[in-house]
A = this chain, B = another copy of it.
Amino acid sequence: MQNLEKILEHNHIKPTAMRLLVLQFLLNKKVAISLTDVENHFDQSDRTTLYRTLNTFVEKGISHKIDDGTGITKYALCEENCHCEIDTDLHLHFHCTKCNETVCITEYKIPPIHLPKDYIAENVNLVVKGICEKCNNK
């Protein structure tokens, strides 16, 4: 998968071994993952490195941070056309209370939010909790 290297280089991230592994992990997982998730997957690696790797990904714009209300920061790769820094493009996140997984729902956009006068919105975070499609069909 030299593809991975291209992704990193394209976003001005030096493709180190660790970063490639983390990127692959993120690609395989379709759900948002936490630092601890990554840590558990790469047994002999250091948490700080993973922490900084994930942060680098966010800074460079290939993934975004998710606050799903569990108190644990999650990360997910951005889609091709993701402009997660721009508020109009923000998608919603769904947190399943059964399997405890958080997924990005990109098909449906956040409807326009009305705010009282003089409030300026810079950013919208919408998390829906409930039962996900997988758990519902079990």
Contacts and interface: CB of A to CB of B under 8 A. Distances in A.
A80 interface: no
A123 B92 CA distance: 13
Given A67-B69, A69-B67, A71-B71, A122 B131 contact: yes
B126 A113 contact: yes
Interface string A97-138: 100000001011001111111111111111111111100110
Query: Dominant SS at the A interface?
Result: strand
A57 interface: no
Chain A interface size range = 35 or more
Nearest to A113: B128
Contacts of A75: none
